[in-house]
Structure 1
Amino acid sequence: MYPRRGFSLSILPLNSNLKNVFRNLVQRQFFTKYGFNFREKLSGIKSIEDINNKIREIVRKGQVYKLFLEESPSNRSGRNNVIKVWLHHCECVAAQRLRRCQQMFTLYSKWWEEKAFKEYMKRMRQNLTRRTRDFAFGSVGISAYNWEKYRITDEEIKKNEQEFDYINVLKENTICLACDPSQKDVDDMKVCACGTMKTPKTYEDWALFIVKPDLVIWRRLHPSGSGQYEYKMFGTYNDVSAEDFLNVQIDIDYRRSWDTSAVVLEHGETDESSNSDIIYWELLWPRLFVNRDYVFNRRYLIDEESKYIFILNKSTEYPKFPKYPDKYRIDDYWSCMVIRPHDGDMKKPGIEFTLTYYDNPGVSIPSSVTTWVAMRAMPDFLDKLREATKHYKEFCLREGTSKACKEIIEAERAAEAQRQKDKLDYCSLLRNSNRTLTQDTVKDKRSGNNKDISSSDVCGVHTNNHGNRFKYLQPLYYFFQ
């Protein structure tokens, strides 16, 4: 199997392997003879120290090899040659095995390193596309988005200043006052009877779609010829403020908690100079369809002069959010909302709003299905938005981190501090009044066990003012009785 090279056959007998060598040694009683001698030398050992001394003596005299060698020089020389050949043979085999292991290790390590390197580069490329690029731009102060080119301009916003006037025109031209008020279904929605006729009553192609006590929705086919509808809504809420209604829509952390249709909501980039943001939004669709996702530029503007709030969204492209193969990207999307407080105060409850939006879902759906979904999905979303606005302050005080939440928290702390200060001021005033009226109270004190519970109990001052005519002069009497 392994050829012997570099050795002459003259130094090896015909049967010169290790087995024959040991057999020869056994026949000559080598192990018996030297084993007896070895036992004799160990007979005097009685402790570990004796063992150490014997070993040192044997090593010092160099006689260890004599236990394994015969007295005959010729036999000793032949056996030495056999052992040398055998050791060389073992060395060759071991060297070959080590060489083969090294080659296999090199091969597999190279193959796995190449595969791991390719996987690493693939992930790095994905990270550069999705995440790292905007961080790299941000580290040097350069935006990954061309705001100068794609920012929503003031002119685009100002185009929507007459939305409420246009809503009034739509109401006058599309809502039929002769409709039967009893035409309502279980969801408390009423579709105008004119909309069910073959020639519905429209204005600039806007047809009445849904009528509710606090919500009216119109729709019309989009001029692009896609077969999809664009929608216009008008709503009025008396229990939410314009400021909270705005903050609920721009606070994506809060929206994750109440909007069950939003699978993913991520923030890409902010342009603080114009109150603009890049938002990624994945919308949950039924099981038969893949989810839709949006990347849009959102800007809001608060007009202090007209007391209007504008929120505009427009689809865009952003390198952090590329198109994903398991989702359908909505590239044609826009919306505009205008909010107006009833009495001009954005912090007080009472608002009116209009919302116009359009998106192309990229799939042909029967109009009956589209109508059924829209009639339930849109009012349901607006109801959730309304309820979420009512609880926005609670969310901010509990876990909110946005700029609006921080302002709400600071305002609440200031209000609480003012309440405590007012309470201390009233209590101090009450104590001073009690000291002044003490003498008159003692003189006019009436007999009886009933004690009048006055405002002094609230401040920790306990006096018996039952029947005391001066109690009506105390400032807090009218607040705590």
Structure 2
Amino acid sequence: MDPGAGCFSEEQFREACAELQHPSLSGAKWELLVETLGISIYRQLDQQTGLYEYKVFGVLEDCSPELLADVYMDLDYRKQWDEYVKGDERNKIVSLCFWLVDFPSRRELDFEGKKVLVILARSTSVLQFPEKSGVIRVKQYKQSLAIQSDGKKGSKVFMCYFDNPSGQIPSWLINWAAKSGVPNFLKDMSKACQNYRKKT
């Protein structure tokens, strides 16, 4: 049983599948931010926060959907390859930023005759983790990831991402970091997939 299954609706899983098949970039103010390594990254300004929500589309070669999902969900292994992840399996600290995230929920769906793996995560609030002086708490966080075979040995990928450190970090700095941070994260994940094969 998926520990996070009760946190998300069936519709949310199917929305991620739909975005993978038919990117939803019209009718909203999505702009292309960068194209690199077969990946396109779009962003849309959130007027309330001055921060951007991101959508990522593309193909990761040499990473099968199952392998990619396993690497993403293996929180112990992630501490080895993702330089921003520290602490135990429910804590994530980035340059003195703190995320408390619901255990990511993973499901396999049949969508338009294709097998799609979907992983959803979002921020949560737990009283036993009080705020600490000098550590910025990210109070809004959401991420969705949909993966299917590219028909070869790689994966077709859709990812949507947003987080908000509640005004403690200048929005220009966060938005600038995302331009290089998202491609670097995907490169690191691709490399982690190759090492994961050797590890298992």
Scaled by the length of structure 2, what TM-score is found? 0.86
Matches within 5 A, 1:153-168: 153-167=9-23
Residue 39 of structure 2 is aligned to residue 235 of structure 1: no
Give 2:194's aligned residue: 390
Residue 144 of structure 2 is aligned to residue 333 of structure 1: no
Give 2:92's aligned residue: 282
For this pair of structures, how many residues does the alignment match?
194
Structure 1 residues 241 and 283, CA, compared in 2 at 3 Å: closer, same or farther? same
Per-residue CA deviations over 1:326-364 (Å, capped at 9, x if unaligned) read 433222111111101022xxxx62111010011111225
Q: CA contact under 8 A between 1:297 and 1:316: conserved in structure 2? A: no
Give 1:309's aligned residue: 117
Residue 68 of structure 2 is aligned to residue 258 of structure 1: no
Matches within 5 A, 1:299-448: 299-304=105-110, 306-318=114-126, 321-326=128-133, 327-343=135-151, 349-362=153-166, 363-367=168-172, 369-396=173-200
Per-residue CA deviations over 1:141-199 (Å, capped at 9, x if unaligned) read xxxx9x89x521222212223103442x64xx7xxxxxxxxxxxxxxxxxxxxxxxxxx
Read off the aligned partner of 2:33 and give its amino acid letter.
F
Read off the aligned partner of 2:107 and give its amino acid letter.
L
Task: From the two aligned structures, give the one with the greater helix fraction.
Answer: 1
Residue 99 of structure 2 is aligned to residue 293 of structure 1: yes
Per-residue CA deviations over 1:282-332 (Å, capped at 9, x if unaligned) read 2221xxxx332323242110124530011111112345x522314332221
Match of 2:67 among 244, 248, 251: 244
- Rounded to whole Å, the distance in 2 between the matches of 1:355 and 1:208 is 14
Q: CA contact under 8 A between 1:214 and 1:236: conserved in structure 2? A: yes
What 5-or-longer segments of structure 2 have no aligned partner? none
- Rounded to whole Å, the distance in 2 between the matches of 1:251 and 1:351 is 18
Per-residue CA deviations over 1:197-217 (Å, capped at 9, x if unaligned) read xxxxxx510011011141110
Per-residue CA deviations over 1:225-275 (Å, capped at 9, x if unaligned) read 111110000120221111100000100111111111112132xxxxxxxxx
Per-residue CA deviations over 1:107-138 (Å, capped at 9, x if unaligned) read xxxxxxxxxxxxxxxxxxxxxxxxxxxxxxxx
Q: CA contact under 8 A between 2:68 and 2:193: conserved in structure 1? A: yes
Matches within 5 A, 1:123-142: none
Provide runs of 4+ in structure 1 moved above 6 Å: none
- Rounded to whole Å, the distance in 2 between the matches of 1:375 and 1:151 is 30
- Rounded to whole Å, the distance in 1 between the matches of 2:62 and 2:197 is 13
What 5-or-longer segments of structure 1 have no aligned partner? 1-144, 174-202, 267-279, 397-481
Structure 1 residues 360 and 366, CA, compared in 2 at 3 Å: closer, same or farther? closer
Structure 1 residues 391 and 205, CA, compared in 2 at 3 Å: closer, same or farther? same
Q: CA contact under 8 A between 1:282 and 1:293: conserved in structure 2? A: yes
Give 1:214's aligned residue: 38
- Rounded to whole Å, the distance in 1 between the matches of 2:139 and 2:178 is 20
Structure 1 residues 302 and 323, CA, compared in 2 at 3 Å: closer, same or farther? same
- Rounded to whole Å, the distance in 2 between the matches of 1:349 and 1:323 is 44
Q: CA contact under 8 A between 1:254 and 1:395: conserved in structure 2? A: no
In the TM superposition, residue 395 of structure 1 has moved relative to its aligned partner by: 1.3
Question: Percent identity over the alignment?
Answer: 25
- Rounded to whole Å, the distance in 1 between the matches of 2:36 and 2:82 is 22
What is the SS of the residue equivalent to 1:243?
A: helix
Task: From the two aligned structures, give the one with the greater strand fraction.
Answer: 2
Q: CA contact under 8 A between 2:91 and 2:99: conserved in structure 1? A: yes
Read off the aligned partner of 1:383 and give its amino acid letter.
K
- Rounded to whole Å, the distance in 2 between the matches of 1:366 and 1:360 is 9
